[in-house]
Structure 1
């Protein structure tokens, strides 16, 4: 089966879905309910553009390879690092997709994002990163969805033609970082074919991230940004824990002149002096309470 595509920017492409992708899509479609998504629907893929894959920043690798790869390929991610045979991510995918990918190579597995049904300027799921790729509408034809996140082993699923998950999500009151409908895009994400724009945080202006972004075959946009002062961070010790408030204040003092933004946190990770999983909790605080992206944060 081939899916013929023409993106909003006029780029043409052709996606040949193999047996694993077709089995996964059919398995989820058979378990989906509801009517079709609206014409304005988009999937976004949030990520941290400056995290390292080996010696290379994520965005530099994107510029070199031209494709966005899953955690099974890169070995890095912004959620749990369990994408390996027998790991939690492997088990969750086996359950969601009826074992379609159990014997498939890592590069054939889906890429994760979220349905941007709230039209957020920082992307649908900023808990996973300050930047996002906004995918073309055509990618929806090969996307599956679940609610809530697959880490919860959900029982509610959707595809573009059968989507009742938005109503489920909007009927619940969840923390802003958990308020998303997870998406899985099958058949790969190529920047020259599947991406309408890369959207970056302004803290990366005049950095290697912006330089790498200029080499991508898609437009680059900027959202309002995430900024959190050390004083404001101290007001939220119950959100992720006092130890992460203390760590965030220390990072803000050392590298941010008393405040946090995505660039400052990325530099803290790359120095090797802080546990990346601990810095991830600080990022959650910044993403949740950062003052600039008012469409994401009250």
Structure 2
């Protein structure tokens, strides 16, 4: 990957973030409970869950993308040895670099940069532009592009284990989870808990963007909303009822993440 990269060294204060939904289940356990018990952040090849396409299996799209990017290096290894995916938060967004994949994020230590590779755009697009910490031209490429806000991130692949007690600076949560089991579980993790300003979307605003993901998802958002509002906790509660298709709720989340995000700002303060 280094030989396919160019540019100047990356500012080591720019973090990699791993966005995810903190109130979902993974392996039959609440995701934060499982993380606390296992002590390691695992890839979709291990968990079988994710907030993008669920194609992490031999011959699947994720397997094929990794085979292409990494020259087959991971083709025959166990899932535990495969990279985990995040994004480079060069814009210092308080909600993480890729909120498309969830309202919460882990912010990794600078150590992660030394064993991360990067591409732009997402690996699903079969990109031709790559980077490593010592050769990073992708920021200029991303800044000159005009992609939708949910797709405008530099993907990061972190190689080697991501250990919660060594490689995390913080877990950053949406304020809709204050006082919930999510916050309680977060306090058991070996990293500090922080809060960003929050995703919130009124139904009136949602209806103004029916062309973004489609009218059916506006209607679904209206059905699960509370007091004319959507937030991450509301969508998570709907997911746990089992009444709604996961892929449909994902598109409602895209609308909330795209049009209900807080203003872009620097990383939030510890609370």
CA distance in 1, matches of 2:61, 2:39: 28
Task: After TM superposition, give the deviation of residue 54 of structure 1 in Å.
Answer: 3.5
1:153 aligns to what? 126
Tell whether 2:193 aligns with 1:224.
no
Structure 1 length-normalised TM:
0.87
2:48–2:56 CA contact under 8 A, matched in 1: yes
Structure 1, unpaired ranges of 5+: 1-27
Task: After TM superposition, give the deviation of residue 212 of structure 1 in Å.
Answer: 0.4
CA distance in 2, matches of 1:188, 1:36: 24
2:255 aligns to what? 285
2:268 aligns to what? none
2:101 aligns to what? 128
Structure 2, unpaired ranges of 5+: 266-271
CA distance in 1, matches of 2:203, 2:103: 19
Tell whether 2:234 aligns with 1:269.
no
Q: CA RMSD for the aligned pairs?
A: 0.9
CA distance in 2, matches of 1:49, 1:134: 14
CA distance in 2, matches of 1:39, 1:69: 24
Aligned positions of 1:1-298 closer than 5 A: 28-252=1-225, 256-290=226-260, 293-295=262-264
CA distance in 1, matches of 2:12, 2:132: 14
Deviations 1:257-279 (A, max 9, x none): 32111011001111000000110
2:12–2:113 CA contact under 8 A, matched in 1: no
SS of 1:119's equivalent in the other structure is coil
2:6–2:131 CA contact under 8 A, matched in 1: yes
CA distance in 1, matches of 2:128, 2:94: 29
SS of 2:95's equivalent in the other structure is coil
Q: How many residues align?
A: 265
